[in-house]
Chain A
Amino acid sequence: MMDQLVNIVSNGCIGAGLVLWLWGTWPLVGPRSVLYKLHTLSMADTLGSVAIVVGLLLRIPSEWPLLVMALISLAIWNTILGYVLAYCSTEEPND
């Protein structure tokens, strides 16, 4: 019973992550600006991947140290990479 419930929740997390991936990655082929695509990518690559890893974590709780490490590095690196890319791709204001 409990196992089934955990399975359903985990599948739900992974499914939600996949939807976020698709939704956030799709605008990448469009003609929008780099910054706009960064917004959607932060949705796909950070939030979607976090959802997928949480889904995996529910499935195999015994490996939690590694998966928590994956969660932390995912959140921090992706966010800061977004900031660095935004900073580098825009021009310095002249003042």
Chain B
Amino acid sequence: MNWILGPMLLILLIPIYETFQDKDIWQKMLAFASVSTKTSIMILVISVLRDDWMIGLVGVLILSVGNASLMLLAQVLKRVNEL
């Protein structure tokens, strides 16, 4: 099952490239959201590969709280733009 990680890493490079290529803040936010989801899925896959559920638990926790910070950041950015 090791073959999965290669393509995953390659696909992960796309949003990372986008984060420093684009100047618009919302495009950057999109790319960061994408990176956050993709890395936590990768953590889950690695935990299955290594058969270690402590890693998997971390992945699930990141999935369930990680995006909250991005939402807050989006709200703050909206307010700042309105000033």
Q: Is the interface of A mostly helix, strand, loop or mixed?
A: helix
- Interface status of B78 (Cβ within 8 A of chain A): yes
Interface residues of A in 10-38 (CB under 8 A from B): 14, 18, 21-22, 25-26, 28-29, 34, 37-38
Partner of A29, one of B18, B26, B38: B18
**B45 A34 Cβ-Cβ under 8 A:** no
Question: For chains A and B in complex, what number of residue pairs have CB atoms within 8 angstroms?
Answer: 104
Partner of B26, one of A18, A34, A44: A34
**A binding-site residues for B, Cβ under 8 Å:** 14, 18, 21-22, 25-26, 28-29, 34, 37-38, 41, 44-45, 49, 52-53, 56, 59-60, 63, 66-67, 69-70, 73-74, 77-78, 80-81, 84-85, 88-89
